[in-house]
A and B are shown apart, each in its own frame.
Chain A
Amino acid sequence: MNFITIFQYGFIQRAIITGIFVALLCSTLGLFLVLRRLSLIGDGLAHISFGGVALGLFLGVFPIYTAIPIVIIGALIILALMDKIKIYGDAAIGVISSVGIAGGVILAGISNGFNVDLLSYLFGNILAISTGEMYLSIVLSVVVLLAISFFYYDLFSITFNEEYARVAGVRVKVINVMLVVLTAITVVLSIRVVGIMLISAFIILPSVTALQIAKGFKSAIIVSTITSVIAVILGIIVSFILNIPTGAMIVVVNFIFLLFAIGYKKIASR
């Protein structure tokens, strides 16, 4: 097979374009989440999205349309549990994500068991993304990335020290709500790319890679986004050539980048 011909396929073009936007989103937001020790919120919200997707399939509605509001509500409840009820972040994520999974399983049971559609959301299928899904991903990605750039210093300040951010006049509660809502949208957009099971890897791995070699906060965002985008492109190409699942391959490439970054850090610190 000619290497260049791979890019002539419409489904590969859609996969790469969608994958790049989702990678930009996950890697940028991921850095804020990892540094705030909220890495697993992506995993938790992905589990909630399982319930949202199941509801969409049950009602015969495009699952993303049901998943987005349900995941946003779930994210806000997690925040409220942490803020108002003073439950630890990981416990709050655990509580809501398990309810999301339970809801999905019940709906799947009522509709006579799991079907192929639900499984495709569990493991993702970036090569099957439609043109409509691609445009939706681009629009929502641009919205989320613009929000991050407009509130960059507020997000940076809260991530560095929430108490100090408040005294610097940052509206911490508003920014925290915005962060979890943006994360919720990102998670739902990522479902079709990597699947519910692997979303947290998309959020965590590029950020952890960046933390090994970054020389500053902006530098960390740049390293995180570059490695994430390259991992998506390489993952799609390799998975297509070797005929293996794409989402999993992207995660493997991201993991290899992390190993290189750890090795580089070890050598550089000698």
Chain B
Amino acid sequence: MNMQSPGMTPERLSNLKRLEAESIHIIREVAAEFSNPVMLYSIGKDSGVMLHLAMKAFYPSKPPFPLLHVDTTWKFRDMITFRDETAANLGLDLIVHTNQEGVEKGINPFDSGSSVHTHIMKTEALKQALNKYGFDAAFGGARRDEEKSRAKERVFSFRDGNHGWDPKNQRPELWNLYNARVAKGESIRAFPLSNWTELDIWQYILTENIPMVPLYFAAKRPVVERDGMLIMLDDDRMKLLPGETVQEKMVRFRTLGCYPLTGAIESDAETLPAIVREMLIARTSERQGRLIDKDESASMEKKKREGYF
């Protein structure tokens, strides 16, 4: 046994090592306890870290669950390319689900508004996919530091048969003991990155050299200023409004989603260290770039009650 000599203070695990170990524990626990888990893969940096941790958790085996991407059909093209490459490189099953009813009804972020678009093409689409495949657990990359209602959410977050979350009736969660019991139709959303902060995420990406979608890095991109945000013209479905002009700007994205709803920031950060540097001096938190959270106060809690991730 590798005993510590008396009087010697064992060095504590570093913050990142402790986070990494905790996440791997959570991921393994889900794989071991549920019969049909799935990992929500949104292609962003948090998903990238979560997937990286899943690869580590089961090495030399592959993660014993597929990836699921809910495609609203409005994601950046770079994201789709990156998604397919990642799944192929890692040899993982990737399920892509789109709400076809929504597509047929012509739901889109421009005419339907961000709130309706998000509800039908994301929240409803996710529920459809979970029901279709009968998943009893779904990993998400959400962090508690992102938003106030997230701060109270459990690592194993219970969802009723309608995928609803009841913030006032959450299961107590102690130590690293997670209650994985669900009845038929009910499910658990599992959040392995609960205790990570945005800075932790970037530091880990830098340390581990995890591949990221190019959109996170600054480049000259065509953007339009709309509602105080810089929206990138990713394809010709975006029509210019009167008075709008397309500008080429050095921009990058702090979060990724549907391109018409995701604001770019002007930046020169073309490398990971430059992004971390920018992070450290940032005066604006990451969700500023997302239109959907601005719709109403406490909007995230409302959406989550309805089944939003």
A and B held together in a complex = no
